[in-house]
Structures are given as C-alpha cells and as structure tokens.
C-alpha cells in the first residue's frame, strides 16, 4: 500500500476535486460522512456520550460534519471548538454554518484551561483538533487539553492523525492526544510506523474517502507499506521439475565459542526459507555442535582451533553468503573478515558482528559487492551511520548511506524498514514477542536463503522481513509473546508461506 507524503495527500485532494468537478467542501462532507458511518456501524445507536473536539482548520471541519451526522441520527453529542487560532479555514466555516443551520446544537468554544469540560471514562472522544496540517507544537494550553483527555482514560477515536503529531517531522517536546484507534484517510502516514510516532498508536484503520484513483495509481511514493498483498506478489512459485540445485546454495559464516546458537538459527532459517543447500562455516569446535543440532546443514570450519574464527577461506561456490551472527569481535576475526572481503565475489548479507566490524573499519565498506544487504538493529545502525536527532533524520541518513555504498539497509525495529534507492519499504508484520535473542540471526538466514533461490537482494530483504514477522505472528497464537523463541520463528516459517495463499484455499 502506498504511503503518501503530506504534499501528496493535499495534491490527491486537489486532483479529486478537479476530476470530479466538486468544491473542496464536498470532499470534506464525504470524508466526514464516511467517518460518521464508521462510527455508526460500531455504535448502532447505543446511548454513549460523544464529545467531539474540533480545531479551526479542515480537520476541525471534518469533526463538524461528523457531529452534524451523529446529531441528525439521534446521538448524544457535545461539540467543542478548540480555539488555538483566530483564523478559520473556508471549509471549516462552511461546515460550521451547515451544522448551525441543520441542528440546534451549537458548538462550545474552548479558549483556555478554564473552558475544559469534564470527561468521564465512559465518554467517547472524537479527536479532530489537528490533522496533517500541524506544523509546530501546539500552544501549552492546547497541550494541557491533550493531557486532560489522556488522563480521562476515555476511548479516543482520532480522525486522520492523532492531534499533536506532525506527520513529517518530530516536533520539539511533542505532546500527543493518545488515540485508542486512528481512523486515517486513504493512506496510512509514515510517522505511524516510526518508533517516536508509533509509540502513541495502538491501532489504526484506513478509511477510503474515494480520492482520485488515477492520481493514487500513478503517484510514486517514497514509502510503501508491505502487507500480505505485496508479499504475495513477490513469491516465486516452485516448478515441478526442480531439484535442490535449483534453489541455490547458502553459506552461513557465523558462530564462535558460546555463540554457536547464532549459526544454528541462521542456518536453519536459510533452510526453512527454502534454500536448496546450506553450509555453515564456523570454528572447528563448532563442528560437532552444528552437526548434531542440524543434520541438514553441511559444515566447513577454519584450520585453526580457536574460540573465534581466524580465517575465512573455503573451497565452495555458494550463491550467497550470510555473515556475522555470533562471530564476536576478536582481532583475528576482524582480520579474517578483511581478507575475506578483499577476494569475495558472492552476494552478501551482513549482520551483527560483521556490521560492528564494518563500523570499526569504515574502509571495509568499500569492499562490499553492490546490492549487499545489511541488517542492523538500531544500535548497530547508529554505529554505522552516526546518531540522529529524530526518526525522519535517521531515515535520511540511512538513505544517504545506502546510496553511497549501493547497499540495501534493513532497519530492524517494530516496523522494520528496508531502505534502497531512495525508497522505504515498511513492514507490517511482527510483534513484541519477537524482541528475543536470536530473532535477528533468523532474519539473516531467511534473507540469505531467499537470495539463494534467486530472489533479487531487494525483494529477498522485503519478502524476508515480511515472512519473518508473519511467522512470529502465527507462532504467538501458540506461545504468547513471552513464550516465543527465535527457534519457533524458524518452525513457523512454513506456515508463513502457506498463509500467503490461505484465503484463496479457504474459499474453495
Ligand atoms: N480537501 C482536503 O484538503 C481535505 C482535508 N481533510 C482534512 O483536512 C486536514 C488537514 O487540514 P488543514 O490543512 O486545514 O490542517 P489542520 O486542520 O490539520 O490544521 C489547521 C491549521 O492549523 C495551523 N497550525 C498548524 N500547527 C499549528 C499550531 N501548533 N497551532 C496553531 N495552528 C497551527 C495550520 O495553518 C493548519 O493548516 C486533514 O488532516 C483532513 O482531516 C478532509 O476534510 C478531506 C479533504
Ligand atoms: K485529529
């Protein structure tokens, strides 16, 4: 699903007005009307006290349209205008006059803290104070109103975006009216998926307000949300006349004394993602551990007998190499990595200690083949690209890094974002249960295994992140968040594949 920027949303509104030859107020009527239907379907005329807080721009105008529809249909509504500014948008004024003409229920003005109404926990709050137009922190009395509503513990439905949250920047000392649900128009907003904005959002739904299809189909967005529909399109079906060689050979370079689990998890994940063959390259001590833990995985070791890898040399021609999990940061391993990178020609997926070694020896980055995949978690990313002031800057810096080294960056987080060639692919699977040791090793294995099967590195990264999250989502039905272990993500990978097509087969 495309994630439109603020400018693109305004342009989509304009394109719709032009294509349909309608004034902008009709679009507000439509958006507010659909939002009313959304509420009505769920409320079914239950006697709830609804409090609608409206700003003085178009988000506020939407609120006035929702209020009018609710009142006309017999709901108990109090409408407030939060007077953060003396100026009013034209469509806000249109909506206000329609509301005043068609109901006797005039809004109450809130100009300061003295005007705050009491809010009961059982009230239903509709937040239409600020939408996508917020571009600076709200006045302190308005922020106090947000907190006043937050403290009430009432159910809050935010219209389009939660008030107080800018969609294209992190505002200083941001105070957000915390929504129970965000009903967002047409396209989810990027900020919902970034840690600093996303932490306020439990749940969001898209309301299709019928913006112009031509515009939406043709607009190129920087960000895209990756769900099942997108993942399904990437899936490569298997042919009947295939053999293990068809699906490639993955080499996993991982593990050290006490960290053989990382190699096992990565290797097993590469196998379960479908790699035809998997070989692990690890320390000699690791050989019996690997062989007994995963008989399907072949093992090659270095010549030495140390706790850490001292040499990375093998007589194989893998299709792809996943390198890094559990390697440790020993000087000998760093030298081994350097020598390996100097002569390597295989496609690479780099994770964990391999990334840390790259951060410590920046010149090694120049040795990476084009389209290498790097999968840093936030700390590893910071070591690679330096610190950032907010999530938007983090993305920009990641983009610059990816451009410079022609690599694919997989920014692991609650919503993992794959960054490549100026585009952001935002994953929409996964859950907090996956914040567990080894989960990243599994992702490395999956992406490696997909590249072995001839997924191009970008598709392998996007699809791999999706499958990893989906496997975790299916697994928690059996384990709960706390009980989920990285090994289970591997076990449920097959289910994640099956799930891509689950709906079709259920319908048959
Ligand atoms: N045709 C359209 O453009 C449509 C717009 N819609 C709604 O319009 C919203 C956007 O409306 P607006 O652009 O009017 O913006 P908002 O209603 O989000 O904000 C109102 C105005 O407040 C001002 N402002 C920004 N930060 C402020 C601050 N901290 N303190 C005081 N004033 C501040 C800005 O000038 C901004 O335009 C969307 O989120 C959506 O809800 C919908 O009605 C659908 C159609
Ligand atoms: K809002």
Domains of the chain: 2-221 (3.40.50.10260), 231-507 (3.40.1190.20)
CA-nearest of 359, 316, 366, 349 to 440 is: 349
Q: How far apart are CA 481 and CA 436, in angstroms?
A: 10
Residue closest via CA to ligand 1's atom 9 equals 59
**Token reading at 87:** 């100026």
User: Under DSSP, is residue 337 helix (H, G, I), strand (E, B) or coil?
Assistant: helix
Contacts of 502 (CB under 8 A, 6+ apart): none
351 lines ligand 1 (CB under 6 A): no
Q: How far apart are CA 204 and CA 201, in angstroms?
A: 7
Read off the pTM: 0.96
Neighbours of 365 (CB within 10 A): 17
Among 9, 13, 68, 133, which is best to mutate for testing ligand 1, by the most ligand atoms less than 8 A from CB?
A: 133
399 lines ligand 1 (CB under 6 A): no
Q: What is the CA radius of gyration of the chain?
A: 26
Structure letter (DSSP) for residue 455:
-
Find out whether 505 is annotated in a ligand binding site.
no
160 lines ligand 1 (CB under 6 A): yes
Find out whether 123 is annotated in a ligand binding site.
no
Find out whether 127 is annotated in a ligand binding site.
yes
Q: How far is the CA of 138 from the centre of ligand 2 (A)?
A: 13
410 touches 350 (CB < 8 A) = no
Q: How far apart are CA 225 and CA 447, in angstroms?
A: 19
ipTM > 0.90 (yes/no): yes
Beta bridge partners of 253: 281, 323
Kindly report the length of the chain: 508
Residue closest via CA to ligand 1's atom 42 equals 28
The alpha helices in 133-212, defined as continuous H runs, are: 140-152, 195-198
Q: How far apart are CA 343 and CA 363, in angstroms?
A: 15
**Ligand nearest to C-alpha 189:** 1
The number of angstroms, rounded, from the C-alpha of 426 to the middle of its chain's C-alpha atoms is 4
Q: pLDDT digit of tens for each residue in the chain (508 aa)?
A: 999 999 999 999 999 999 999 999 999 999 999 999 999 999 999 999 999 999 999 999 999 999 999 999 999 999 999 999 999 999 999 999 999 999 988 999 999 999 999 999 999 999 999 999 999 999 999 999 999 999 999 999 999 999 999 999 999 889 999 999 999 999 999 999 999 999 999 899 999 999 999 999 999 999 999 999 999 999 999 988 888 788 999 999 999 999 999 999 999 999 999 999 999 999 999 999 999 999 999 999 999 999 999 999 999 999 999 999 999 999 999 999 999 999 999 999 999 999 999 999 999 999 999 999 999 999 999 999 999 999 999 999 999 999 999 999 999 999 999 999 999 999 999 999 999 999 999 999 999 999 999 999 999 999 999 999 999 999 999 999 999 999 999 999 999 999 999 875 444 3
Q: Is 153 left (phi over 0), alpha (psi -120 to 50) or beta?
A: left
**Token reading at 436:** 């567990």
**Token reading at 117:** 């109404």
151 touches 75 (CB < 8 A) = no
Number of H helices, E strands in the chain: 19, 18
**Token reading at 131:** 């939408």
User: Under DSSP, is residue 331 helix (H, G, I), strand (E, B) or coil?
Assistant: helix
Q: Report the nearest atom of ligand 1 relative to the CA of 55.
A: 17
Q: How far is the CA of 174 from the centre of ligand 2 (A)?
A: 15
CA-CA-CA-CA torsion sign (441, 442, 444, 448): positive
What are the phi and psi torsion angles at 116 (to 5°)? -65, 130
Q: How far is the CA of 52 from the centre of ligand 1 (A)?
A: 16
Q: How far apart are CA 176 and CA 227, in angstroms?
A: 27
457 touches 410 (CB < 8 A) = no
134 lines ligand 1 (CB under 6 A): yes
Residue closest via CA to ligand 1's atom 39 equals 131
Q: What integer pLDDT is reported at residue 508 of this predicted model?
A: 38
CA-nearest of 238, 332, 234 to 283 is: 332
| Continuous segment of H or E residues that includes residue 359 | helix 352-360
**How do strand 298-301 and strand 320-323 relate by DSSP bridges?**
unpaired
The greatest distance separating any two alpha carbons of the chain, rounded to the nearest whole angstrom, comes to 87
Q: Report the nearest atom of ligand 1 relative to the CA of 10.
A: 3
Residue closest via CA to ligand 1's atom 34 equals 133
């Amino acid at each position: 699903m495309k994630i439109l920027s603020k400018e693109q949303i305004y342009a989509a509104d304009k394109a719709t007005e032009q294509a349909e030859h309608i004034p902008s107020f009709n679009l507000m009527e439509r958006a507010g009307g659909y939002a009313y239907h959304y509420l009505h379907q769920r409320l079914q005329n239950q006697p709830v006290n609804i409090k609608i807080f409206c700003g003085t721009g178009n988000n506020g105008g939407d609120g006035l349209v929702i209020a009018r529809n609710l009142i006309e249909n017999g709901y108990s509504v109090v409408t407030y205008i939060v007077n953060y500014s003396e100026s009013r948008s034209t469509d806000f004024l249109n909506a206000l006059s329609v509301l005043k003409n068609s109901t006797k229920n005039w809004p109450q003005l809130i100009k300061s803290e003295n005007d705050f109404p009491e809010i009961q926990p059982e009230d239903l709050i509709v937040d239409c104070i600020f939408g996508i137009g917020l571009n600076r922190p709200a006045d302190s009395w308005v922020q106090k109103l947000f907190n006043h509503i937050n403290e009430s513990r009432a159910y809050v439905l935010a219209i389009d975006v939660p008030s107080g949250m800018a969609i294209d920047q992190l505002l200083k000392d941001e105070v957000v009216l915390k929504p129970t649900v965000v009903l967002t128009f047409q396209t989810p907003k990027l900020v919902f998926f970034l840690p600093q904005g996303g932490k306020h959002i439990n749940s969001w739904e898209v309301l299709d307000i019928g913006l112009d299809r031509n515009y939406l189909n043709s607009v190129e967005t920087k960000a895209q949300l990756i769900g099942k529909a997108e993942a399904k399109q990437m899936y490569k079906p298997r042919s009947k006349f295939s053999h293990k060689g068809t699906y490639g050979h993955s080499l996993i370079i991982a593990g050290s004394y006490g960290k053989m689990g990382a190699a096992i998890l990565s290797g097993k994940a590469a196998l379960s993602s479908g790699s035809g063959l998997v070989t692990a390259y690890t320390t000699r001590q690791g050989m019996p551990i690997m062989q007994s833990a995963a008989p399907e995985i072949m093992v090659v070791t270095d010549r030495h007998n140390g706790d850490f890898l001292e040499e990375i040399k093998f007589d194989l021609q893998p299709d792809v190499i996943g390198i890094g999990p559990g390697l440790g940061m020993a000087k000998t391993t760093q030298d081994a990595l350097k020598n390996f990178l100097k002569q390597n020609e295989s496609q690479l997926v780099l994770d964990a200690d391999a990334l840390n070694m790259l951060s410590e020896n920046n010149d090694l980055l120049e040795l990476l083949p084009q389209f290498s995949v790097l999968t840093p978690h936030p700390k590893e990313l910071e070591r690679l690209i330096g610190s950032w002031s907010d999530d938007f800057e983090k993305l920009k810096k990641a983009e610059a890094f990816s451009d410079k080294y022609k690599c694919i960056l997989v920014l692991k987080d609650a919503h993992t974002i794959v960054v490549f060639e100026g585009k952001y692919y935002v994953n929409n699977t996964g859950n907090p249960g996956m914040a567990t040791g080894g989960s990243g090793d599994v992702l490395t294995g999956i992406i490696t295994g997909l590249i072995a099967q001839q997924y191009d590195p970008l598709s392998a990264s996007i699809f791999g992140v999706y499958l990893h999250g989906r496997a975790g989502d299916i697994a928690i039905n059996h384990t709960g968040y706390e009980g989920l272990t990285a090994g289970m993500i591997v076990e449920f990978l097959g289910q994640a594949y099956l799930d891509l097509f689950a709906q079709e087969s259920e319908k048959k």
